[in-house]
């Protein structure tokens, strides 16, 4: 029993607590107090609202005054538009709106003020130049013989997947009169005779300044660049129409083409009814296959004429003629002529299907010294070599394309010639991602005596900014 | 016969062919240049600028009517157009950013972005769909500065035409009053038609529509239509099946009546979505000139509004 009494002692406290919630005179007093408090809060809110509306009226009047002053300062001949478009369905007197004006123009003082060449960010967090990263990964599948002899299209990288080129590109305007581009690339290359001799080389592909406002409509570039020669030489690795470069370009200029030349180049678009562009450049001549002298005392001189005929609904045709002349590493002159043509037809409307046919022929004239023997001393003789390629591509739609390329070329110096045929298929899930598969059958004679069958796979991507596609 | 013997003959033939084509085209070139030489990047800006310039000069356009500006590649003929022009009218957002490398290749520094001869039509407009937060390519080929298809709302014409007329008058003050007169006349014609277009679409205010590409927010705003969704939810990237299934379900639940497809996109996906959702597919050009007789801004908008009103009127 005593135990039970001890357990009952919290009961009165609980009853008292419950009693406080029961209706009664005390509760009625509390309700009145709450009502009074609510009334006070309501009055405070009304007061705040009045202050807010008053402040809003003041700001509106101030804004109207400023707009009136601005309109008064606007010249009568310059119309001024309404700032904001109408709300949905709202009838807007458009002719009446012709008296309003767009955002103010920069003053003369602002326009004359010197500009920063670049900055990492503006207040709006916008970069003042573009950055793009491109990745180009290739896999080459071929026979054991080609791998052992290391004479596949990607020599020393047969039966491997490798980063052909990972590129960092920075480009943009330097100031109102110039633009600049810097492209750094890294890619795997065969370094020696052993299968494991490979290295990833980093190179400055391009680092040049373009002067945009020279007299007589001249545009000039100086620095490290891809010179304007032929049709495909100016195209970057990842933008090539097929996975590999055509044989004639690789045989005449090496795998890297006329890339990374240092010098100066000027070009002009002639004031004619039809597009005609002339370019002329002088370079060190660092191409190891064709022009290895590497000095401006014997410069590599490159010129190109390019024309384009717009055929409207029948497509467009581009023709280019090029010449490059310089001193090879063996101190003899080498001159290469090029003739290229490209035709494209696109269906009206969507632009697809798109049909492309293009080709290029190179003709090289170089002097070489023959080896002497007991009967005849060494003598100089001229070597004339030529080669070309032709391809057609059918873009079924924005995503899928298929094509076929044929190659025929003589070797640049050694005796021999080769031909190849390469069908390929391309898939572009988006503008920034592309996959390709290509089969290549090659047969060669002389110094390239072989029959090669290769399958290439390629994946390319672009991060960030990228230049617009060109014809 | 050695093939190299043909090389000089081939080169000669190519030169002769090019020379013949040039001479033929030279013969057709007009003798005198008009006073104003204006280049517009896109057909909509071309039609508006032409209305303002009138007979005071020649206005050319860098893209063909009906050509999708998102898939554009630079053609040398565009470089030539830039070379000839003294004033450039551009959208001002990313819709025509491809014109920058064209200008840089033209040897015409007057038209470099930032110079006084470049008119940006978007100036002063209240832009729609400016992406917020993190903006990267996971969202597709987005326009970070906002949706650039503002000319599809006739209500933007006072601002757009003022930007163009002001830019032209800044370079040619002597033509200022005549440009302004042309502009007012253009605005009056647009105003009269805009009233009629609003009346045509007034019965369908609040109607839910789906677009293939995100081209129409300004148009929908002008006429009180409600965009239920976009098939190409990430610009430039094909839609995923999951997105299409979700969109079709929403269309059924919320009664979307039409799917609007820009004429330069393939119709397959949009037609399938419309069929599955029980909606109608309306294929309309987004820019003037894609359909015969719609070179003019007003004719183009008339075509668009009529096509849409007709589709909405059908049961």
Residue where a domain stops, chosen among B179, B194, B209: B194
Beta carbons of B76 and A397 less than 8 Å apart: no
φ, ψ of residue A307 to 5 degrees: the values are: -130, 160
Q: What percent of chain B has pLDDT over 90?
A: 70
Mean pLDDT calculated for residue range A225-238: 93
Q: Are residues B189 and B56 in the same domain?
A: yes
Q: Give the gap in angstroms from C-alpha A468 to the nearest C-alpha of chain B.
A: 6
The 10s digit of each residue's pLDDT in B287-308 is: 899 888 899 999 999 999 999 9
Q: Are residues B183 and B48 in the same domain?
A: yes
Beta carbons of A430 and B166 less than 8 Å apart: no
In the sheet that holds B87-90, the strands lie side by side as B57-61, B36-40, B87-90, B118-120
Compare A287 and B29 and report the one with higher pLDDT.
A287
Closest by Cβ to B162, choosing from A93, A101, A177 = A101
Beta carbons of B109 and A306 less than 8 Å apart: no
The predicted pLDDT at position A103 comes to 43
The 10s digit of each residue's pLDDT in B249-270 is: 999 999 998 999 998 888 899 9
Beta carbons of B109 and A213 less than 8 Å apart: yes
Closest CA to A404 of A434, A382, A426: A426
Compare A8 and B231 and report the one with higher pLDDT.
B231
The chain-wide mean pLDDT, for chain B, equals 89
B11 domain residue, yes or no:
no
Chain B residue numbers touching A176 (CB-CB < 8 A): 112, 114-115
Compare A2 and B211 and report the one with higher pLDDT.
B211
The backbone region for A217, taken as left when phi is positive above 0, alpha when psi lies in -120 to 50, beta otherwise, is left
Could you tell me the maximum CA-CA distance found in chain A, to the nearest angstrom? Answer: 140
B133 domain residue, yes or no:
no
The predicted pLDDT at position B13 comes to 67
- The β-bridge relationship of strands A218-225 and A261-269 is antiparallel
Residue of A nearest to B159 (CA): A81
Q: Indicate which of B102, B107, B113 best probes the interface with A, i.e. most A CBs within 10 Å of its own CB.
A: B107
Q: How far apart are the C-alpha atoms of B46 and B62, rounded to whole Å?
A: 9
Q: Are residues B97 and B168 in the same domain?
A: yes
Q: Are residues B160 and B176 in the same domain?
A: yes
The answer to whether the CB of B117 falls within 8 A of the CB of B103 is: no
The predicted pLDDT at position A292 comes to 86
A vs B, Cβ pairs < 8 A, gives: 231
DSSP letter (8 states) at residue A372: P
Chain B residue numbers touching A359 (CB-CB < 8 A): none
The predicted pLDDT at position B69 comes to 81
Mean pLDDT calculated for residue range A63-78: 50
Q: How far apart are the C-alpha atoms of B18 and A341, rounded to whole Å?
A: 12
pLDDT at A79 over 80: no
Q: Are residues B277 and B208 in the same domain?
A: yes
Closest by Cβ to B22, choosing from A83, A267, A274 = A274
The predicted pLDDT at position B201 comes to 97
Q: Give the gap in angstroms from C-alpha B17 to the nearest C-alpha of chain A.
A: 10
Q: Are residues B174 and B69 in the same domain?
A: yes
What one-character-per-residue DSSP string does A80-139 give? ---SSPPPTT----TTGGGG---SPPPPHHHHHS---S--S--TT---SSEEEEEEEEEE
Mean pLDDT calculated for residue range A389-409: 96
Q: Give the gap in angstroms from C-alpha A48 to the nearest C-alpha of chain B.
A: 32
Mean pLDDT calculated for residue range A451-463: 96
Residue of A nearest to B31 (CA): A273
The predicted pLDDT at position A4 comes to 45
φ, ψ of residue A423 to 5 degrees: the values are: -80, 150
Compare A26 and B155 and report the one with higher pLDDT.
B155
Question: What value of ipTM does the predicted structure carry?
Answer: 0.76
Closest CA to B110 of B92, B83, B90: B83
Closest CA to B147 of B167, B125, B164: B125
B29 domain residue, yes or no:
no
Compare A30 and A42 and report the one with higher pLDDT.
A42
The 10s digit of each residue's pLDDT in A39-48 is: 887 878 887 7
Residue where a domain stops, chosen among B149, B178, B194: B194
Mean pLDDT calculated for residue range A34-61: 77
What one-character-per-residue DSSP string does A28-62 give? HHHHHHHHHHHHHHHHHHHHHHHHHHHHHHHHHHH
The chain-wide mean pLDDT, for chain A, equals 82
Compare A18 and A327 and report the one with higher pLDDT.
A327
Beta carbons of B191 and A398 less than 8 Å apart: no
Beta carbons of B141 and A430 less than 8 Å apart: yes
Mean pLDDT calculated for residue range A383-389: 96
Q: How far apart are the C-alpha atoms of A173 and A383, rounded to whole Å?
A: 45
Chain B residue numbers touching A351 (CB-CB < 8 A): 67-68, 71, 264
Beta carbons of B4 and A386 less than 8 Å apart: yes
Chain A residue numbers touching B4 (CB-CB < 8 A): 363, 384, 386
Give the H or E element holding residue A16: helix A11-19
Q: Are residues B188 and B90 in the same domain?
A: yes
Beta carbons of A468 and B75 less than 8 Å apart: no
Q: Give the gap in angstroms from C-alpha A417 to the nearest C-alpha of chain B.
A: 13
B14 domain residue, yes or no:
no
**Considering Cα of A461, then B143, then B256, then A349, what sign does the dihedral take?**
negative
The answer to whether the CB of A356 falls within 8 A of the CB of A232 is: no
Q: Indicate which of B7, B155, B205, B226 best probes the interface with A, i.e. most A CBs within 10 Å of its own CB.
A: B155
Closest by Cβ to A98, choosing from B68, B187, B290 = B187
Beta carbons of B21 and A268 less than 8 Å apart: no
How many domains are there within chain B?
Answer: 2
DSSP letter (8 states) at residue A247: H
The 10s digit of each residue's pLDDT in B56-77 is: 999 999 998 888 887 788 899 9
Q: Are residues B174 and B234 in the same domain?
A: no
B20 domain residue, yes or no:
no
Beta carbons of A468 and B202 less than 8 Å apart: no
Cα dist from B180 to A86, B36, B85, B158, B190, whole Å: 22, 15, 21, 12, 15
Contacts of B270-278 with CB under 8 Å at 24 or more apart are B270/B212, B270/B231, B272/B244, B273/B210, B273/B231, B273/B244, B273/B247, B273/B248, B276/B248, B277/B210, B277/B247, B277/B248, B277/B251, B277/B252, B278/B251, B278/B252
pLDDT at A84 over 80: no
Chain A residue numbers touching B184 (CB-CB < 8 A): 79, 95, 98
Question: Of A71-85, A143-157, A316-330, A371-385, which gets the smallest average pLDDT?
Answer: A71-85
Q: Are residues B150 and B92 in the same domain?
A: yes
Structural domain of residue B56, as residue ranges? 36-125+139-194
The 10s digit of each residue's pLDDT in B78-103 is: 999 999 999 999 999 888 989 999 99
The answer to whether the CB of A275 falls within 8 A of the CB of A308 is: yes
pLDDT at B169 over 50: yes
Half-sphere exposure of A339 (CA within 13 A, CB side): 16
Mean pLDDT calculated for residue range B12-20: 64
B19 domain residue, yes or no:
no
Q: Catalogue all structural domains in chain A, each as residue range(s) with its CATH number.
A: 119-370+379-464 (2.40.160.10)
Q: Could you tell me the CATH number of the domain that includes residue B300?
A: 3.40.50.1980
Closest by Cβ to A321, choosing from B14, B64, B166 = B14
B157 domain residue, yes or no:
yes
Compare A5 and A455 and report the one with higher pLDDT.
A455
pLDDT at A20 over 70: no
Q: How far apart are the C-alpha atoms of A470 and B71, rounded to whole Å?
A: 11
Residues 6 or more apart whose CB falls under 8 angstroms from that of A230 comprise: A249, A304, A320, A322, A338, A340, A360, A362
Q: Are residues B52 and B174 in the same domain?
A: yes
Residue where a domain stops, chosen among B177, B194, B211: B194
The 10s digit of each residue's pLDDT in A238-260 is: 889 999 999 999 999 998 788 89
The predicted pLDDT at position A66 comes to 63
pLDDT at A316 over 90: yes
Question: Of A1-5, A245-249, A421-425, which gets the smallest average pLDDT?
Answer: A1-5
Chain A residue numbers touching B191 (CB-CB < 8 A): 92-95
Q: How far apart are the C-alpha atoms of B165 and A80, rounded to whole Å?
A: 10
The answer to whether the CB of A438 falls within 8 A of the CB of B40 is: no
B158 domain residue, yes or no:
yes
Question: Of A109-113, B133-137, B187-191, B296-300, which gets the smallest average pLDDT?
Answer: A109-113
Mean pLDDT calculated for residue range B155-184: 96
pLDDT bracket for residue B164 (50, 70, 90): very high
Residues in chain B: 315
Residue of B nearest to A362 (CA): B7
Chain B residue numbers touching A269 (CB-CB < 8 A): 79-80, 83, 105-107
Q: What percent of chain A has pLDDT over 70?
A: 79
Closest CA to B11 of A337, A241, A152, A174: A337
pLDDT bracket for residue A88 (50, 70, 90): very low
SS3 per residue for chain B: CCHHHHHHHHHHHHHHHHHHHHHHHHHHCCCCCCCEEEEECCHHHHHHHHHHHHHHEEEEECCCCCCCHHHCCECHHHHHHHHHCCEEEECCCHHHCCHHHHHHCCCCHHHCCCCCCEEECCCCCCCCCCCCCCCCHHHCCCCCCCCCCHHHCHHHHHHHHHHHHHHHHHHCHHHHHHHHHHHHHHHHHHHHHHHHHHHHHHHHCCCEEEECCCCCHHHHHHHCCEEEEECCCCCCCCCCHHHHHHHHHHHHHHCCCEEEEECCCCCHHHHHHHHHHCCEEEEECCCCCCCCCCCCHHHHHHHHHHHHHHHHHCC
Residue of A nearest to B84 (CA): A271
Q: Are residues B242 and B113 in the same domain?
A: no
Q: Give the gap in angstroms from C-alpha B259 to the nearest C-alpha of chain A.
A: 18
Q: Are residues B114 and B205 in the same domain?
A: no
């Amino acid at each position: 029993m005593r135990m039970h009494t001890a357990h009952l002692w919290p009961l009165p406290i609980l009853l008292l607590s419950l009693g406080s919630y029961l209706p009664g005179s005390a509760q009625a007093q509390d309700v009145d107090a709450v009502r009074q408090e609510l009334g006070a809060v309501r009055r405070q809110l009304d007061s705040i609202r009045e202050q807010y509306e008053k402040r809003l009226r003041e700001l509106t009047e101030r804004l109207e005054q400023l707009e009136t002053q601005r309109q008064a300062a606007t010249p009568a001949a310059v119309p001024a538009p309404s700032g904001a478009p109408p709300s949905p369905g709202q009838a807007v007197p458009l002719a009446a709106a012709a008296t309003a004006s767009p955002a103010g123009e920069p003053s003369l003082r602002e326009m004359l003020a010197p500009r920063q060449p670049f900055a990492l960010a503006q207040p709006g967090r916008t970069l003042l130049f573009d950055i793009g990263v491109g990745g180009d990964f290739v896999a080459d599948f071929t026979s054991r013989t080609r791998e052992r002899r290391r004479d596949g299209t990607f020599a020393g990288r047969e039966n491997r997947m490798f980063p052909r080129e990972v590129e960092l590109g920075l480009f943009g305007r330097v100031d109102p009169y110039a633009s600049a581009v810097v492209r750094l690339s890294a890619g795997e290359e065969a370094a020696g005779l052993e299968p494991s001799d490979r290295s990833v080389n980093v190179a400055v592909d391009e680092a040049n300044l373009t002067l945009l406002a020279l007299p007589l409509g001249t545009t000039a570039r100086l620095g490290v660049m891809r010179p304007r020669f032929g049709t495909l030489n100016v195209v970057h690795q990842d933008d090539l129409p097929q996975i590999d470069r055509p044989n004639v370009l690789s045989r005449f200029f090496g795998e890297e083409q006329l890339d990374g030349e240092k010098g100066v180049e000027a070009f002009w678009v002639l004031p004619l009814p039809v597009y005609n562009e002339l370019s002329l450049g002088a370079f060190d001549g660092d191409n190891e296959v064709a022009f290895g002298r590497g000095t401006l005392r014997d410069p590599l001189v490159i010129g190109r004429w390019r024309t384009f005929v717009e055929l409207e609904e029948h497509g467009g045709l581009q023709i280019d003629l090029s010449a490059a002349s310089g001193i090879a590493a063996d101190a003899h002159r080498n001159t290469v002529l090029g003739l290229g043509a490209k035709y494209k037809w696109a269906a009206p409307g969507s632009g697809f299907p798109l049909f492309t046919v293009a080709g290029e022929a190179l003709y090289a004239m170089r002097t070489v010294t023959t080896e002497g023997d007991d009967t005849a001393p060494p003598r100089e003789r001229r070597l004339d070599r030529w080669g070309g390629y032709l391809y057609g591509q059918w873009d079924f739609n924005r995503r899928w394309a298929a094509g076929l390329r044929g190659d025929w070329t003589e070797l640049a110096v050694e005796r021999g010639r080769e031909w190849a045929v390469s069908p390929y298929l391309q898939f572009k899930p988006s503008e920034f991602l592309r996959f390709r598969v290509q089969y290549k059958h090659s047969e060669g004679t002389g110094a390239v005596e072989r029959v090669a069958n290769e399958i290439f796979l390629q994946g390319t991507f672009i991060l960030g900014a990228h230049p617009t596609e060109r014809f | 016969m050695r093939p190299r013997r043909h090389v000089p003959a081939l080169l000669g033939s190519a030169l002769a062919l090019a020379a013949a084509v040039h001479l033929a085209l030279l013969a057709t070139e007009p003798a005198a240049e008009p006073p104003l030489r204006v280049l517009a990047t896109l057909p909509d800006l071309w039609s508006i600028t032409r209305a303002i310039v009138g007979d005071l000069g020649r206005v050319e356009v860098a893209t063909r009517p009906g050509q999708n500006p998102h898939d554009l590649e630079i053609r040398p003929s565009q470089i030539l157009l830039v070379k000839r022009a003294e004033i450039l009218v551009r959208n001002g957002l990313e819709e025509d950013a491809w014109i920058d490398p064209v200008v840089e290749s033209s040897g015409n520094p007057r038209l470099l972005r930032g110079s006084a001869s470049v008119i940006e039509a978007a100036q002063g407009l209240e832009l729609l769909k400016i992406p917020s937060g993190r903006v990267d390519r996971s969202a597709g080929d987005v326009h970070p500065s906002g949706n650039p298809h503002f000319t599809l709302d006739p209500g933007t014409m006072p601002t757009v035409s003022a930007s163009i007329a002001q830019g032209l008058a800044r370079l040619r003050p002597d033509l200022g009053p005549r440009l302004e007169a042309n502009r007012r006349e253009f605005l009056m014609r647009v105003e009269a038609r805009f009233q009629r277009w609003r009346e045509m679409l007034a019965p369908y205010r609040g109607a839910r529509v789906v677009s293939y590409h995100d081209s129409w927010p300004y148009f929908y705003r002008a006429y009180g239509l409600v965009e239920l969704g976009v098939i190409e939810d990430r610009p430039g990237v094909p839609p995923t099946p999951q997105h299409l299934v979700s969109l079709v379900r929403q269309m059924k639940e919320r009664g979307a009546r039409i799917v609007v497809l820009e004429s330069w996109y393939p119709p397959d996906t949009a037609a399938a979505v419309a069929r599955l959702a029980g909606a109608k597919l309306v294929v309309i050009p987004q820019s003037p000139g894609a359909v015969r007789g719609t070179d003019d801004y007003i004719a183009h908008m008339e075509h668009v509004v009529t096509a849409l009103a007709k589709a909405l009127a059908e049961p």
